[in-house]
Amino acid sequence: MDFQLNEEQKMLKKMVHDLAEKEFRPKAAEWEAKGEHMPRKYLTMLADLGLLGLCLPTKYGGQGKTAFEAILAIEELARISSLCAAPVFESNVGPVKVVEQFGTEEQKQKYLPPVCRGESLISIGMTEPEAGSALTDLATRAVLDGDHYVVNGQKRFCTGGGESDAYMVYVRLSEQKGAKGIGGLLIEKGTPGFSFGKQEQLMGLRGIPSCDLIFDNCRVPKENLVVREGEFRKLMTAFDLERCGNATMCLGIAQGAFEEARAYALQRKQWGKEICEFQAIQFMLADIALRVEAARLLIYRATTNAATGLPVPLEANLAKCFANQMVREVTGMALQIHGGYGYSKDYPVERMMRDGWGWGLAGGTIEIQKITLASFLLGRRFDQRR
C-alpha cells in the first residue's frame, strides 16, 4: 500500500490546481451569482489539457489514465466550485462510463471521442416525479416499433439537462415490474418528441443546468440501446464510479472551505488577538481536518482499487456516504469560524455550504446509502416495500 502520489500524479494535481486558481477562481462566483452556465470555450480549454476523458481509453480520445487521476483533477477544481469541476466529472465518471463499459463498439466510437474533445456532454436521466429513492418504480416506457424504440415518460432533476447533447435514460423495456424490466437508452438532444422542462432554481450548485426531460412518442434508433432489459445491475455498478465522483465533489468543497476558514482564523482579530488563538476555533479547524483527511482516504482507496474499471460497491458506498455527511459538517464549521461574515455572500463559505448539501441528495440520499451499507454489513437485503 503506497500513500504517496507518483511524480506524474503530483504534476497533474499541480497543473489542475494552477488552472483552477487562474481560470476558474475569478469566474466561479460570478457564474454562481448569475446562475450562468459555464461557457463552452472552457470545455475546449479542459479538453486541450486532456482533462476530459482522462480515464477513458486512448483509442476513444481519452488519456488512458485510471479513475484515481480523474478524481485528483475533480478534487482540485471542486476546491473552487462544483460548477468548475462538473465537465471533468461528467466526462470521466459520469454516464460516459456506462457507454465505455457496456456499450457496443459503434456506440463507443460515436459518443466517446466528442466528449473527450469537449464537443459533447452526456447526462443521466434516472429519477422521475414518482420514482426517486424507489428508482425501480420508474415508469418511462420504451416500446420497440420496427427499428426504433418509442419512448414516453418524464425524468426529473437531470443535471446538465437542456445543455447536454446526449442522455443516458433509464427506461422500462417491458411490462416486467421492478429492476427486471429496466435498461439504458442513449437519447440525443433534438430527437423529435424529446423536450425539456424549465430550468430548476436549486438552493446550490447554481450555474449547473438541471431540468426535467420529457419524452412524448420520442422515436429513438434501436442501436442506441446500451444496457438491455434485465441488466439494471450493470447500470448501478457503473453508477458506483459516479458516486466516487460525487464524494470527490464533497472533498473538494470541504478542502476549499478548510482553506477559507484557516486563512480567516489567522487574520480576523477579536479581543486584541487573532481568533485562531482561541481553543474553540482550533478545535473546529482540527475537526475539519480530521474529516477531510478521512474522506480523502476513503475516496482514494475506492478509486485506486477501481483502476481503469469500476469500484468495489462497498468502498464506493463508504466513500460517498461519509463524504456527503462530512461536507455538511465541515462547511457548517467553516461558516461558523467566519462569524456573521460567513453568512454573507461576500464570502465563499455560504456557497460552499449550499453546494455541499446537494451532493448528499444527488446519486442516492445519505439514508439510502446507509440502507445499502447495512445490507453489506449484515449480508441481507432489506425490501423497503414490505
Q: Which residues bind ligand FAD (CB under 6 A)?
A: 123-127, 132-133, 157-159, 205, 358, 361-365, 367-368, 371, 384
Indicate the residue among 96 and 158 with the shorter CB distance to ligand FAD.
158
Q: Which residues pair with 270 in a beta bridge?
A: 273
- Comparing every residue's Cβ against ligand FAD, the nearest one is 132
Cα separation, 88 vs 213, in Å, equals 23
Indicate the residue among 12 and 93 with the shorter CB distance to ligand FAD.
93
Indicate the residue among 195 and 365 with the shorter CB distance to ligand FAD.
365
CB 319 within 8 A of CB 301: yes
Indicate the residue among 5 and 371 with the shorter CB distance to ligand FAD.
371
Q: What is the DSSP letter of 131?
A: B
Amino acid at 12: L
Least distance to ligand FAD, CB of residue 264, Å: 27
Best CA proximity match to 93, nearest among 227, 208, 238: 238
Q: What is the DSSP letter of 203?
A: S
Least distance to ligand FAD, CB of residue 161, Å: 8
Amino acid at 360: G
Cα separation, 52 vs 62, in Å, equals 7
Least distance to ligand FAD, CB of residue 211, Å: 10
Least distance to ligand FAD, CB of residue 33, Å: 18
Task: Give the count of beta carbons closer than 10 Å to the beta carbon of residue 18.
Answer: 11
Indicate the residue among 61 and 181 with the shorter CB distance to ligand FAD.
181
Indicate the residue among 16 and 168 with the shorter CB distance to ligand FAD.
168
Least distance to ligand FAD, CB of residue 256, Å: 18
Query: 6-9 — which CB contacts under 8 Å span 24+ positions?
Result: 9/68, 9/69, 9/72
Query: 9-16 — which CB contacts under 8 Å span 24+ positions?
Result: 9/68, 9/69, 9/72, 12/69, 12/72, 12/73, 13/72, 13/73, 13/76, 15/49, 16/51, 16/72, 16/73, 16/76, 16/77
Least distance to ligand FAD, CB of residue 370, Å: 8
Least distance to ligand FAD, CB of residue 136, Å: 12
Least distance to ligand FAD, CB of residue 383, Å: 10
Cα separation, 337 vs 260, in Å, equals 10
End-to-end CA separation in angstroms for the chain: 43
Least distance to ligand FAD, CB of residue 322, Å: 16
Indicate the residue among 57 and 132 with the shorter CB distance to ligand FAD.
132
Strands (E), the chain: 122-125, 141-145, 148-159, 166-172, 182-188, 194-196, 210-221, 225-227, 269-270, 273-274
Indicate the residue among 135 and 337 with the shorter CB distance to ligand FAD.
135
Cα separation, 272 vs 367, in Å, equals 45
